[in-house]
Structure 1
Amino acid sequence: MEGNQTEAVAISKTYSFEGLLDFGNKIIKSGLTPLKKAEDVVAAILLGRELGLTEMVSVNNLYSVNGKASASIHVINALLQKAGIVIEVINNYEPCVRTVMKGADGKPELDEQNNPIILREVFASEVPLEHEIKGKKIVNYKTIVKLTRQVKQPNNTYKDMTVISSFSYQDAVMAGLHTKDNWKNYPKVMTLNRALAFGGRLIGADILLGLYETSELADAHNVNYSVNNDGKVTIINPVVSPNANTEFIEEVDEVSSSVDNSQNTSKN
């Protein structure tokens, strides 16, 4: 009986602030989370509970970047698919070329400055229209994803909702991202992550609740991070003093003691 009671207390303790801090320190020491501070572990767990995630998933996939919550692309995809959203990658960093207007002689139509009249950007594999000539020079790489879900209507019927989301190398250039190491080393991964995150927030606003993908916030706030071939983003935190978490806990205990003493004094 005593063993069961002890186990129950240990489990319930993780639902108190002090228990979560203790759990945070232990999980950091175990090396099973990339987070470096117990407070960050607590924040990840609390956010994870709002999203329906387990504690270990939360401490490995949720980050606070400059005061804003973020999640790995894997968690975002999991939350969307769990809600019944179908994700389809239509084009994955495929090369694009430009088309120009075709003249009556079958050659490019020229403008007043004798330059070919550019019509649009298409995928290199795409068949041009009858009035177009497709160029050979690659001018962009583009990723397109399609997200679909069924949305309940007022009359209790369901209607398909579809979102087409895209991100390209030129989008990264416009945002000044193309010079960053992660974008230079993993452009295909990064464009897919960004397209999925954009589309996910549009079609699953009620699911993600404004949650950003981690690299979005890291890029916006110039926070260092690493990414692997699978798209997993890890924030590179500065070195934290070994006593940082202990000092935080002692500070909380000190405040609690002060409050208790003041209450006892007032009673006397």
Structure 2
Amino acid sequence: MNKQEEHKVDNNNQLVKSSSNNLNIINLLDEKQLAAAEVFLKKIIASDKGGIKSVNEGLAVLMRANDLNLPFSTCIEHIHVINGKTGVDVHIIKSLLSRAGVIWEMSKDYAPQYQYTDGNTIYLETQLPEYVVRCRTPKEAEEKTTDDKVGVYPLRYYADLKGNMFNELELNAQCVKCINRFQAITVAKEGKYPVLRVPAQPIDFVTEYTFKRYKVINGKEREITAKGHFSFTEAQTAELFTKDTYKKYARIMIANRAFVFGARDIADDLIMGVMETSELDVVVGNTNPSTDYYEDYTEIKD
């Protein structure tokens, strides 16, 4: 099991490199070094590397790199300035957690969520009460139902020959359940109302991460756990699908948001309160967001 290795951050306004390479240290309070840094940043801007558009943006990235104890050469490609505020992409957050020995696993990968029923009431899978026991069939649900527990099973859906869809609680005595379309046509000719079983319709899609971290507190090692989750419905509520990246790569973007929420819970001391870039873009209300920081998501869409 990986143990956490605490990293000390230099608070002397210096860019400290965490690698073993003897890279230059820039003292941001030294006027000569600051002037040299500005000259270097102008060369970076001229090369279009990292997407920084001004010296001030470059200095903002430099200071954020200092806070996070990260190499500037990496940060200019993974830290972005939006309306004067810096945000990091999810790869930087994962790197910070990995460096400190935080481990995680994706416990739900854009998992479809369905409706359940006990035969009378419909329950949403995302909002199941504690007294509910999920079962596979009505018979199993009936066996699990007690004075303290209610067994529920996946709500079944049916469609008529015109494609109109109904759940099982909406069917009446005139409906005849058929096993195939041929039988349904035969039943319809007899003046009855045939319906065919169709796949259940998901009500939401959820991604969830489970995090684990080991820390020494008061001389004792403790295991800390946290969960981060985000759903399609939450993204819709936040109006995130107005952005092309969410429309094209919903699964990836929702996974990134779920990861960041969990990472912030378990390791905000490592992330230092910084926001993920797409998250920051929403918070500051940027009306003309740059798409540069989304390019790396398209590379992992498969």
Question: Which residue of 2 is the match for residue 128 of structure 1?
Answer: 134
Q: CA deviation at 1:217?
A: 1.0
Residue correspondence of structure 1 range 112-261 to structure 2 within 5 A: 117-121=121-125, 128-129=134-135, 130=141, 131-135=151-155, 136-154=200-218, 156-223=219-286, 224-226=289-291, 227-228=294-295, 230=297
Whole-Å separation in 1 of the counterparts to 2:51 and 2:105:
30
TM-score of the pair, normalised by structure 2: 0.63
> Equivalent of 1:53, from 67, 70, 78?
70
Deviations 1:206-253 (A, max 9, x none): 111111000001122333133246368xxxxxxxxxxxxxxxxxxxxx
TM-score of the pair, normalised by structure 1: 0.70
Question: Which residue of 2 is the match for residue 257 of structure 1?
Answer: none
AA partner of residue 256 (structure 2): N
- The answer to whether 1:65 aligns with 2:82 is yes
Seen in structure 2, the aligned counterparts of structure 1 residues 158 and 175 have a Cα distance that, compared at 3 Å, is same
Q: Is the 8 A contact 2:80 2:277 kept in 1?
A: yes
Seen in structure 2, the aligned counterparts of structure 1 residues 52 and 229 have a Cα distance that, compared at 3 Å, is closer
Please, which runs of 5 or more residues in structure 2 have no aligned partner?
1-23, 127-132, 136-140, 142-150, 156-199
Q: CA deviation at 1:79?
A: 0.4
Deviations 1:73-126 (A, max 9, x none): 10011001101100211112121111112xxxxxx21xxxxxxx122316xxxx
Seen in structure 2, the aligned counterparts of structure 1 residues 188 and 24 have a Cα distance that, compared at 3 Å, is same
Whole-Å separation in 1 of the counterparts to 2:83 and 2:262:
23
Partner of 2:50: helix, strand, or coil? coil
Q: CA deviation at 1:14?
A: 7.9
In the alignment of these two chains, the number of paired residues is: 205
Partner of 1:161: helix, strand, or coil? strand
Q: Is the 8 A contact 2:60 2:86 kept in 1?
A: no
Q: Is the 8 A contact 1:141 1:169 kept in 2?
A: yes
Q: Is the 8 A contact 1:89 1:145 kept in 2?
A: yes
Partner of 1:202: helix, strand, or coil? helix
> Equivalent of 1:84, from 89, 101, 121?
101
AA partner of residue 144 (structure 1): E
Seen in structure 2, the aligned counterparts of structure 1 residues 12 and 91 have a Cα distance that, compared at 3 Å, is closer
Partner of 2:223: helix, strand, or coil? strand
Question: Which residue of 1 is the match for residue 46 of structure 2?
Answer: 29
Deviations 1:181-228 (A, max 9, x none): 221111011111111111111111111111100000112233313324
Please, which runs of 5 or more residues in structure 1 have no aligned partner?
1-10, 102-107, 110-116, 233-268
Whole-Å separation in 2 of the counterparts to 1:25 and 1:14:
18
Partner of 2:241: helix, strand, or coil? coil
Q: CA deviation at 1:68?
A: 2.8
Q: Is the 8 A contact 1:94 1:141 kept in 2?
A: yes
Seen in structure 2, the aligned counterparts of structure 1 residues 13 and 164 have a Cα distance that, compared at 3 Å, is closer
AA partner of residue 34 (structure 2): F
